Amino acid sequence: MPVSSVTTQTGTYSSADIAEGEIVFVTTSGQPDRAEASSDIITLSQAGLAFLTGSPTHGESSQSSSQTALARLDQDIQSSRRTIRAMAEQWVDRLTAQIRQLMLMEAFTAPKALAGELAQLAHQLAVAVQQYAQNQGSAPSLANIGAMVTTTAQPPAQDHQSTPDVPDQTASPDPASGSTSQTGQGATATNDNQAFQQSVRTLAKQMEALLHAARHHLKKQPDSDIQAAQRALNEVEQTLPQL
């Protein structure tokens, strides 16, 4: 209920003398002492309310948005890597079919033409293996890197209360979901890598056999196509351990 007047030892002050929104203190002299409401007190009350209700502060909201953006970017990168690996696998399948056809036509193919064809196919195989090796997705997750950087950049909170420290449950992955998912993805990637390696090794051996036959028919004469094919197969052999 609004106060119409304030009575002190020195007199009575009506509501007309007191502006709306003012805080009036009656001093020992009997005179009303006015003070405006402090905006700092309101700001502190809002921060305290956010703390009591568990609402995220501005800094926490920014950190959450950054983590979400990094997680989406990481998903896009991993998806792109899976696409490139799938394309490399299909490329090797096509090369395998071409080598099989070339093996059937070996007796009817001139050694020089055979060497030229092998140089092109071996080069394509080396490129496919390199693309697969460069997109295995073995780099650390961007979301995890962002979490570590953000946590390191924040100063430690100064807590003057005697409340015991509580471990941050959001900092560690859920062992029932995250770890199991990552383990399953890692096992699948390992199996895919092994299958890809086996296909490449088999194809490279078939190319080596055809290359040996072409070299024999050319009577060990220096040939640029044979040398190019051999260099490409050497690159394949050097890249396979990286898978």
pLDDT in tens, 47-90: 555 665 665 655 666 778 888 888 889 899 999 999 999 999 99
**Confidence (pLDDT) at 66:** 84
20 lies in a domain?
no
Q: How far apart are CA 197 and CA 106, in angstroms?
A: 26
205-210: average pLDDT: 96
In this predicted structure, the answer to whether residue 39 has a pLDDT above a threshold of 80 is: no
Q: Which domain holds residue 194?
A: 82-135+183-242
| Cβ–Cβ < 8 Å for 31, 13 | no
202 lies in a domain?
yes
pLDDT over 90, % of the chain: 41
Q: ∠ CA 125-87-191 to the nearest 5 degrees?
A: 85
96 lies in a domain?
yes
| Cβ–Cβ < 8 Å for 203, 92 | yes
Side-chain-side CA neighbours of 46 within 13 Å: the count stands at 7
Q: pLDDT band for 115, please (50, 70, 90 cuts).
A: very high
Q: What is the dihedral of CA 74, 78, 81, 83, to 10 degrees?
A: -130
42 lies in a domain?
no
| Cβ–Cβ < 8 Å for 166, 198 | no
Q: How far apart are CA 102 and CA 115, in angstroms?
A: 11
For the chain, helix (H) and strand (E) counts, in that order, are 6, 4
43 lies in a domain?
no
Q: How far apart are CA 81 and CA 5, in angstroms?
A: 78
| Cβ–Cβ < 8 Å for 100, 151 | no
Number of domains in the chain: 1
Of these ranges, 48-52, 94-98, 109-113, 239-243, the one predicted with the greatest mean pLDDT is: 94-98
88 lies in a domain?
yes
104 lies in a domain?
yes
142 lies in a domain?
no
Q: How far apart are CA 75 and CA 69, in angstroms?
A: 10
Q: How far apart are CA 164 and CA 167, in angstroms?
A: 10
